[in-house]
Structure 1
Amino acid sequence: MRLFIALNPPDELRRRLGKLADFAHARCGGRRMPDESLHLTLAFLGEVEVARAEELAEWVQGLAIAPGEWRLDGWGCFRRPGIVWVGSQAPDPALDELQRALWHTLEAHGLAGRPARFIPHVTLLRRAVSLDTGSFPEVDLDWPYNQVALIQSFTDQRGARYRTLAVSQH
């Protein structure tokens, strides 16, 4: 099973992110991420055996994370895969600490894959034709969070899709 741990946006924020995705898609082309797929990845785990996935689901359900609020205030892109995203212009210490704490426990349980650098972002487009976001409007969104989710990524006839396997306490 292909898994990751993420923050899922509240419904109203998801709608607003979807409008930003529409705007970016109209100007940059590429493949727009469906609203229901918009999230912030904290830990990409990759392929995980079913038994390990069950252990992870139980662990996530027992987690209690400190509530926080992430400010999204900028556009960005990753050139190589053609990704257009929204995120923060400045580091967010609470979000960075949450990501570090998750990886500390994951690594203690034998999981590897911590990225060298954590760039919190919400992917809006993949395979964008243009990555010029310089003239895009300002972004000013707040994302309150108080739980994380263990999510399975899978592919079916409609393409890549996500299924939530477990959610932490709040």
Structure 2
Amino acid sequence: MKRLFLAIAPNAAHLAQLTRLQASLDKQGRLVPRDNLHMTLAFLGQCSDDQQEALCDTLDRLAHQRRLPAFEVTLNTLDYWLKPKIICLKGVARDPRLISLFDLCQGLAQQLGLHTSEHSFTPHITLMRKAKVLPEFKAPSLTLCGHALHLYHSQSSEQGVQYKVLASWPLTAPKA
């Protein structure tokens, strides 16, 4: 069994912007390592090899059919979420293609008997864990363009949790 999730990775320019933002956060928590920064579309939980294979086969087919839509989302609000004790950069899912991709990922998880979110979708990137307070400054605006969907394996190690990409699928722009 592997702990898996589907997510979008920030590009190099976004990573630079996010790490600058992290550097300005008060040291009241644990920064998410640069290589672990991502925007989750579906946390899948513990997956068997059969479930992982079925998920990959379905996403391979959908990507081949150009049914995984590219999207844009602006993340521009710094927020503190009390229960998970995180600081994140969040936005609002306005692009119908992003909402469609989120719904598709959640639907696949449900079909395979995997974890599905009980919360409404708030696009966000977690910057700090075990946070205590929200710093008081205005967050920069970051427009994330989703060009690839990644299947990540969340692996615990002595160095902490590491996210490894197991598979990727291109997201396609709508035909003009």
Place the TM-score, normalised by the shorter chain, in its bin.
0.7 to 0.9
TM-score by length of 1: 0.88
**Is the contact made by 1:63 and 1:169 (CA closer than 8 Å) also made in structure 2?**
no
Q: Which residue, out of 92, 95, 109, partners 2:94?
A: 92
Aligned match of 2:70 in 41, 59, 67? 67
Aligned-pair CA distance for 1:77: 1.3
Query: What is aligned with 2:126?
Result: 123
RMSD: 1.7
- Secondary structure at 2:108 match in 1: helix
* Distance of 1:73 and 1:93 partners within structure 2: 15
Asked if 1:58 is matched to 2:57, the reply is: yes
CA shift, 1:31, in A, is 0.5
Separation in 2 of the partners of 1:149 and 1:87? 20
Cα deviation for residue 99 of structure 1 reads 0.6
Question: Which amino acid counterpart does residue 94 of structure 2 have in structure 1?
Answer: D
Report the Cα distance in structure 2 between the residues aligned to 1:14 and 1:168, rounded to whole angstroms. 20
Alignment of 1:124-139 (within 5 A): 124-129=127-132, 131-133=133-135, 135-139=136-140
Supply the distance in 1 between the matched residues of 2:39 and 2:56 (Cα, whole angstroms): 18
Post-superposition Cα deviations, 1:79-134, rounded to whole Å, max 9, x if no partner, equal 1221000011x3324322211122123323333423232221100000013x223x
2:117 and 2:138 map into 1 onto residues whose CA distance is: 32
Aligned with 1:168: secondary structure?
strand
Give the CA deviation at 1:28. Answer: 4.7
Aligned length: 165
- Aligned in 2, Cα 1:6/1:123: closer, same or farther, shift over 3 Å? same
User: 2:148 aligns to what SS in structure 1?
Assistant: coil
Q: Structure 2 vs 1, CA of residues 63 and 22 (structure 1 numbering), >3 Å: closer, same or farther?
A: farther
State whether structure 2 residue 17 is matched by structure 1 residue 16: yes
Query: CA distance change for structure 1 residues 132 and 169 in 2, over 3 Å: closer, same or farther?
Result: closer
User: Does the 8 Å contact 1:60/1:166 carry over to 2?
Assistant: no
Q: Contact (CA 8 Å) 1:57, 1:165: kept in 2 or not?
A: no
- Look up the match of 2:4: 3
Contact 1:33–1:123, Cα closer than 8 Å, also in 2: yes
**What secondary structure sits across from 1:73 in the alignment?**
strand
Which ranges in structure 1 are unaligned for 5 or more consecutive residues?
none
Shift of 1:40: 0.4
**Corresponding letter in the other structure for 2:48:** E
TM-score between the two structures when normalised by the length of structure 2: 0.85
Following superposition, the deviation at residue 143 of structure 1 comes to 0.9
Q: CA–CA distance in 2 between the matches of 1:112 and 1:160?
A: 20
Question: AA paired with 1:78?
Answer: W
Q: Which residue does the alignment assign to 2:160?
A: 159
Instruction: After superposing the two structures, state which structure 1 stretch, 103-112 or 77-86, moved more.
Output: 103-112
